[in-house]
A and B are shown apart, each in its own frame.
Chain A
C-alpha cells in the first residue's frame, strides 16, 4: 500500500523532475504552495457546505438542496455571489487600512498550514522550530482583526475588534502552553518529530498517541477549548456576535473581502485543528495497527473532518459567553490548569522508569489525579452552577 500512501510525494517528484535542475527548487516550492492552497481551499468549500447542511439538520431543516445535487454546488454559488456583490468602502473609512485588513487576516492563516505534516513525509516546510512558526503566524492574524475593526471607523466594528483582540491574546497563552506540554514530552519543536514520536502501537493494537496519556488528554481538552476561542467559534464567537454587534470587525465589508475574512477564519480553524491532530491524535497515524494499511493522508483529513463536524455541532448548540466571563474563564481557569498540566508531564517524565508490575497504571493514575484535583477546585471557582442556582418556585393557587 506504500504506492497509494506516497502517491502525492511521487507525483511531486515526477513534476519537479520535468524541469531543469536550476529551476527545480523554485518549482518544488511552487508545487507545495499550490498543493496547500488547492487542498485547503477545496476543504473550505466542502466545510461551508457541511456547515450549512449540518446546522440545518441540527435544527430540523433541510439545508441547501437546490443548487446542484444535495446542494453540493452551494459553495460555488456563494463564491460567485461574493465576487459579484458590490464592494462598498465606507466614505469615512481609512481606505488603505480597510482594504489591507482581509489580506493580513488571511495570509498568516494559510502560512500556518504550511508547517502541518499532512501525511508520511508530506509536509510542505519541515522547520526545526515548526511550532514557533505556527504561533508566530497566529500572532500576526490579530493585526488583521485590528485593522479591519479600526479601518471601517464604525462603533460596532471598533467594539468587535477590541473584543476580538482581547480574546485572541488572552487565549493565545493557554494555547501555546498546552502545546508546550507535548514539546516537553517529545523534546523537539518540529512537528514531524512529534508525529514520529507517536508512531508504534501499545501491545500491538492501540496506537501510541499522546491523547492516551493523562497529560495528553488534559492538554488535548485545554488545547481544544483555547483553539475554539482562538478561531472565534461558538461559544466564544464574541467578535462577530451577530445578535449584539452584528458582524463585529467584519461589519463594513461586502463582496469578496467579506468572503476573504471567512476564508481566513476557516483556514485558521483548519490550522488549529490540524495542529491538535498532529500534537495529540498522532498526525497521520492510524489508531489501530490492523487499520494501518489505509494511506496516511486519508487518516489526517479524516480526523480533520471529524474536528469540523465537532465545531459545527458546538456552533449549533451552545449560546455565547459574555466578554468579561470569557476573560475570567481564560485567566482564572485555563492558565492555572495549563501550568498544572506542565507539572503533570514533568511527573510523567520522571516516573518513566517505573516498569515494575503495576508501575504503568500507578503512574497513569498518579498523573491523572495530579490533574483532576485542581480541575475540580478551579471549576468550582469559575462555575456558577453548583451552589447558587437552587431557585425555589412558589405556586400560588
Chain B
C-alpha cells in the first residue's frame, strides 16, 4: 500500500514517476537510428532525373514480404535504361525490416523516420509510388547524419565524375553493411 501511495505522490513532482508524453502536442525526440518506412534518395534538385535507383530489382527479390514492385524504363529501341519507370512500395505490407537498405548496392533506398502514414483508403493510399517515395539527399543527411556520411563515401566511389559508366558498379568491392 505504501508503494502505491509513494507513486501517487511522486507522480506530481518526480518526472520518472509520470513518463507520459501527450503525443499530438508534445512529441518524443526519435533517436537517430530509428526507422519507419523506406524512401528513395535523389541527388541534386530534380527528383526524377537525380534518382539514384538503377532498377536492378535486388531489393524486390530480397524483400521478405515482397512489397516492392519495380518496372525498368525502356528507351526507344526497347533496351532497359538504368532508371525505374515504376517503383511501387506497399506500406501496408512492408514491415520496416531494413533488409532492402542492406542489400541495395547503390545506396538508393534508405529508411525514413516519418511514421504518420495513415491514409483513408486501405489499398490505394497505402501504395506509395516513385514520386511519393523520392526524398532529397539533404533530407537524408538531416535525419541520419552519421549513416549519410558513410553512404556518401560509397556513392562517390560508384559514380565516376562524368556520368554513370556501364562497368558493373562496385559489385565486387562492396559488401552489404
Provide the residues of chain A in CB contact with B17, threshold 8 Å.
60
- For B11, the closest partner residue in chain A by CB is A57
Contacts of A61 in B (CB 8 A): 18, 20
A-contact bits for B1-33, CB 8 A (1 contact / 0 none):
101110110011000011110100000000000
Tell me whether A316 and B4 are in contact (CB under 8 A).
yes
Q: Judging by beta carbons under 8 Å apart, are A62 and B18 in contact?
A: yes
**Interface flag for A59 (CB, 8 Å):** yes
For B3, the chain A residues whose CB sits under 8 A away are: 317
Measured CB to CB, the nearest residue on chain B to A54 is B8
Closest chain B residue, CB of each to CB of A317: B4
- Chain A positions within 8 Å of B5 at CB level: 313
Interface status of A339 (Cβ within 8 A of chain B): no
A317–B8 alpha-carbon span in the complex (Å):
11
By secondary structure, the B interface counts as helix
- Enumerate chain B residues within 8 angstroms of A65, measured Cβ to Cβ: 22
Q: Are B8 and A62 neighbours in the complex by a CB distance under 8 Å?
A: no
- Tell me the nearest residue of chain B to A59, going by C-beta: B7
**Within the complex, what minimum Cβ distance (angstroms) separates A54 from chain B?**
7
For A60, A313, A316, the residue with the greatest tally of chain B CB atoms inside 10 Å of its CB is A60
- Cross-chain contact of B1 among A54, A57, A62, A317 (Cβ < 8 A): A317
Q: Mark A65-82, 1 if CB is under 8 A from B, else 0.
A: 100000000000000000
Closest to A314 in B: B1
A56: nearest chain-B partner, CB-CB? B11
Interface size for chain B: under 10, 10 to 19, 20 to 34, or 35 or more residues?
10 to 19
A58 close to B (CB within 8 Å):
yes
Q: Known: A313-B1, A317-B1. Is A58-B8 also a contact (CB below 8 A)? A: yes
Minimum CB distance partner of B14 in chain A: A60
Among B4, B5, B20, B22, max chain A CB count under 10 A is at B4
Complex alpha-carbon distance, A60 and B4, angstroms: 10
A57 / chain B contacts, CB cutoff of 8 Å: 7-8, 11-12
What residues of chain A lie closer than 8 Å to B7, measured between beta carbons? 57-60
B-side contacts of A54, CB under 8 Å: 8
Residues of A near B20 (CB, < 8 A) are: 60-62
Point out the residues of chain B lying under 8 angstroms from A313, CB to CB: 1, 4-5, 8
Task: Evaluate contact between B19 and A60: CB separation under 8 angstroms.
Answer: yes
Q: Are A60 and B1 in contact (CB under 8 A)?
A: no
**Binary per-residue interface labels of chain A (44-62) against chain B in the complex, 1 for a CB within 8 Å, 0 otherwise:** 0000000000100111111
Assembly CA distance A59 to B20 (angstroms): 11
Cα–Cα distance between A57 and B19 once the two chains are bound (Å): 11
Chain B residues positioned under 8 Å from A318 (CB to CB): 1
Query: How far apart are the CA atoms of A61 and B17 in the complex, in Å?
Result: 8
- Taking CB atoms, residues of chain A closer than 8 Å to B18 are 60-62
- A58 near B4 with CB under 8 A, answer yes
Minimum C-beta distance from B173 to chain A (A) = 50
Interface residues of B in 20-66 (CB under 8 A from A): 20, 22
* B residues in contact with A317, CB < 8 Å: 1, 3-4
CA gap between A313 and B18 in the complex, in Å? 18
B28 to chain A, nearest CB (A): 15
CB distance from A50 to the nearest CB of B (A): 12
The docked-state distance in angstroms from the alpha carbon of A21 to that of B20 is: 61
Give A55 Cβ to nearest chain B Cβ, in Å.
Answer: 10
CA distance A316 to B8 in the complex (A): 10
Residues on A lying within 8 angstroms of B by beta carbon are 54, 57-62, 65, 313, 316-318
- Pairs A-B, 5 closest by C-beta atoms: A317-B4, A62-B20, A57-B11, A58-B4, A58-B8
- What are 5 A-B pairs with beta-carbon distances under 8 A? A57-B7, A58-B4, A58-B7, A60-B7, A313-B5
Q: Given A62-B22, A313-B5, list of 7 further CB < 8 A pairs? A: A54-B8, A57-B7, A57-B12, A60-B11, A61-B18, A61-B20, A313-B8
